[in-house]
Amino acid sequence: MHFQTLSPLDMYPKILDFDPAVMASLSMTLARPCIAPLIVSKDAAVIRNYGALVLELASLVPDGVVVFFTSYLYMENVISTWYDQVRVLLFSSI
């Protein structure tokens, strides 16, 4: 399993040694209202469920998966939360 953010995007064709068929830069608009506040993505239960989903997908995909995060800080927080949750599960089963 590999964790990464999407920046800088132009480095992936170089690292993975491929020529992209279509490469475009699309601007992001925040004109529409968000259906869920950002705080939802920081909820421990949401992070746990995404962790379970990633583990399940990783067990099904033969060559592994790449997980992308919106930022390095969010990635660090999520991975830290996953480690803490695993640690609690391990010690509670002893």
The model carries a pTM of 0.55
- The percent of residues in the chain predicted with pLDDT above 70, rounded, is 68
- Residue 82's contacts (CB-CB under 8 Å, 6 or more residues apart) are 47, 48, 51
Provide DSSP, 19-50. Answer: --S----------SPPSS-GGGGG-HHHHHHH
- Supply angle C-alpha 53, 43, 39, rounded to 5: 120
State yes or no: pLDDT of 85 exceeds 80: yes
Please classify residue 3 by burial: count the beta carbons closer than 10 Å to its beta carbon, then call 0-12 exposed, 13-18 middle and 19+ buried: middle
Q: How confident is the model at residue 80 (pLDDT cuts 50, 70, 90)?
A: very high
The Cα 78–Cα 94 span in angstroms is 25
Q: Which 8-state DSSP code applies to residue 69?
A: E
* Averaged pLDDT, 58-87: 86
